[in-house]
């Protein structure tokens, strides 16, 4: 039974802390805030490029591990589960729970932050292992939920609803729940009867945005662009809900051969079908599409052949427009980043944007699920009119600094700690 009350060591748990996916990037912000509050942070995952001295890496904890991928292929789209898959679930659950116990002992963990591992059923054995660990120890824990299964159509028909009901997310005595938007809070209460805190995604607006320097000045050339090309940036993964068809259509209809659409992230986390669809659609419309995820990482580094690896922040200064035509987002990290770099943004008015961001008064090029003549005219106006563009991005920066800064996250984390009687 957990009895420690000093709460100095925070253990973060996720399937991965690696690269530039939204969960990893948002978790890193929490880590920074906790460390500024004089907590020590440690990390359990299946894939990691974070501090190895503070990390425990168990390969089977990664949702992309072959053993996990092979298992999960038999869970969704069908309604009956074979006995051997049940046995494999519990074999992996036991291994992972033992590893989690070792993690807590090794780093003397006082508080757990679970990053999406008990939110969306990408890794059922890990979710079960975390749930049992918290139940058996009563350790203070925060479920930081970025997505839920009911937000993804592909999870709705399944043969693992018993496990989803048990652990995604669970109702436990020492576990409190954090969601990133008001709709998630409402649906978590409706579907699971669980109360939660809203902690929106944030950004450190106190720092100065990096610009073009000696390291990144050749970025356009490195990814195959000419210096006078207009760079439209799609800073997301290539998955269906990102709505990348709209960005491709917009470039096609603008009919400017100097516009290049650049996608920075990987396209195969959720299979290759949508990736192939995007490639075919761009070819059909003769839109120059640049997909170079291997050139971008969470920080600057050198590749195996001595080539430059850029951070995501290196490409923003080169962008002329950020495209964000998602049909659904839990919040909108890429939106906050575009605002930080003072770039104009094309935004589809997805539901969370309408409820949690738009009412604050942001000035964007807004689309309603398709590219209209008005949207095209707005893009052309923003590209031509520097005065209008500067007014837009300055207003957005001021609003984001007020509503989505690190100071907001500090106050929210202090509220969570008060829940556990620690501040």
List average pLDDT for each run of 10 residues in the chain, which is 423 residues long. Answer: 65 92 90 95 96 97 95 93 96 98 97 97 97 97 95 91 97 97 95 95 91 95 95 92 94 96 78 89 94 87 89 94 91 90 96 92 96 96 96 96 94 93 69
Long-range contacts made by residues 49-56, C-beta under 8 angstroms, separation at least 24? 49/17, 49/18, 49/19, 49/297, 49/298, 50/17, 50/18, 54/107, 55/17, 56/99, 56/102, 56/103, 56/106, 56/107
- Token pair listed for 291: 């997909």
Burial pattern 379-414, b for ≥16 Cβ within 10 A else e, equals beebbeeeeebeebbeebbebbeebbbbeebeebbe
C-alpha torsion sign, points 162, 165, 167, 171? negative
- How many angstroms separate the CA atoms of 92 and 66, rounded? 13
What is the rounded CA–CA span in Å between residue 68 and residue 215? 39
Structure-block tokens of residue 383? 């590209």
Q: Which pLDDT score is estimated for 88?
A: 97
Strand-pair partners of 112: 11, 141
Nearest to 125 by CA among 176, 163, 156: 163
Stated as kind and residue range, the H or E segment containing 95 is helix 83-107
- Tell me which residue of 43, 29, 1, 35 sits closest to 140, measured CA to CA: 1
Q: Supply the pLDDT for residue 298.
A: 76
Is the fold of 9-202+406-419 the same as that of 219-403? yes
Per the structure block, which two tokens stand in for 104? 């807590």
Nearest-Å Rg of the Cα atoms of the chain is 22
Return d(Cα 78, Cα 213) in angstroms, integer. Answer: 53
User: For the chain, what's the residue count?
Assistant: 423
Under a CB-based contact definition with an 8 Å cutoff, are residues 231 and 260 in contact? yes
Determine the topology of domain 9-202+406-419 in CATH: Rossmann fold (3.40.50)
With CA atoms as reference, report the closest residue to 175 among 235, 218, 131, 219.
131
Short-list 81, 90, 72, CA closest to 154: 72
Helical (H) or strand (E) element with 42: strand 40-45
DSSP helix/strand/coil, 113: strand
Degrees to nearest 5, angle at CA 24 with 199 and 316: 95
Q: Are 178 and 196 in contact (CB under 8 A)?
A: yes
Residue among 226, 307, 293 nearest 265 (CA): 293
Q: Could you tell me the fold of the domain covering 219-403? A: Rossmann fold (3.40.50)
Q: How far is CA 399 from the centre of its chain?
A: 22
Six token digits for residue 176: 């409190």
Q: For residues 196 and 344, what is the distance between their CA atoms, to the nearest angstrom?
A: 33
Domain boundaries, the chain: 9-202+406-419, 219-403
pTM of the predicted model, to two decimals?
Answer: 0.84
Cβ-based burial of 80 (10 A; exposed 0-12, middle 13-18, buried ≥19) = exposed
DSSP state of 369: S
Q: What is the pLDDT of residue 401?
A: 94
Written as six digits, the tokens of 288 are 């120059």
pLDDT for 5: 52
User: Rounded distance, CA 192 to CA 252, Å?
Assistant: 44
d(CA 8, CA 417): 11
Beta bridge partners of 198: 179
Q: How far apart are CA 344 and CA 320, in angstroms?
A: 8
């Amino acid at each position: 039974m957990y009895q420690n009350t000093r709460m100095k060591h925070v253990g973060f748990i996720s399937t991965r802390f690696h690269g530039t996916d939204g969960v990893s990037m948002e978790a890193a912000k929490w880590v920074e805030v906790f460390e500024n509050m004089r907590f020590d942070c440690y990390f359990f995952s299946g894939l990691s490029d974070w501090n190895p001295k503070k990390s425990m890496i168990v390969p089977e904890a990664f949702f992309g591990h072959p053993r996990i991928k092979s298992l999960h292929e038999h869970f969704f789209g069908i309604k009956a589960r074979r006995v051997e898959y049940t046995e494999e679930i519990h074999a992996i659950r036991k291994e992972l729970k033992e590893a989690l116990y070792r993690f807590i002992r090794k780093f003397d963990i006082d508080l757990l932050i679970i990053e999406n591992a008990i939110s969306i059923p990408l890794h059922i054995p890990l979710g079960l292992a975390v749930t049992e660990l918290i139940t058996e120890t009563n350790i203070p824990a925060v479920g930081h939920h970025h997505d839920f299964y009911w937000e993804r159509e592909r999870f709705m028909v399944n043969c693992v609803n018993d496990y989803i009901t048990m652990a995604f997310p669970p109702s436990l005595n020492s576990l409190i729940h954090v969601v990133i938007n008001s709709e998630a809070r409402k649906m978590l209460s409706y579907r699971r009867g669980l109360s939660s805190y809203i902690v929106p995604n944030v950004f450190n607006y106190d720092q100065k945005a990096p610009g073009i320097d000696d390291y990144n000045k050749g970025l356009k050339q490195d990814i195959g662009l000419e210096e006078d090309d207009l760079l439209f940036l799609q800073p997301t993964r290539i998955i269906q809900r990102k709505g990348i068809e709209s960005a491709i259509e917009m470039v096609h209809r603008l009919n400017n051969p100097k516009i290049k659409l650049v996608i920075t992230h990987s396209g195969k986390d959720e299979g290759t079908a949508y990736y192939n669809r995007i490639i075919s659609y761009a070819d059909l419309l003769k839109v120059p599409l640049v997909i170079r995820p291997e050139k971008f990482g969470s920080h600057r580094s050198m590749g195996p052949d001595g080539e430059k690896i850029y951070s995501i922040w290196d490409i923003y200064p080169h962008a002329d427009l950020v495209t964000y035509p998602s049909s659904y987002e839990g919040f909108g990290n890429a939106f906050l980043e575009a605002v930080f770099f003072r770039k104009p943004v094309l935004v589809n008015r997805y539901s969370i944007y309408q409820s949690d961001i738009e009412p604050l008064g942001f000035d964007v090029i807004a689309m309603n699920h398709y590219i209209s003549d008005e949207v095209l005219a707005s893009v052309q106006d923003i590209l031509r009119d520097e005065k209008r563009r500067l007014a837009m991005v300055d207003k957005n920066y001021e609003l984001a600094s007020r509503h989505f800064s690190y100071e907001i996250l500090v106050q929210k984390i202090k509220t969570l700690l008060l829940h556990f009687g620690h501040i």
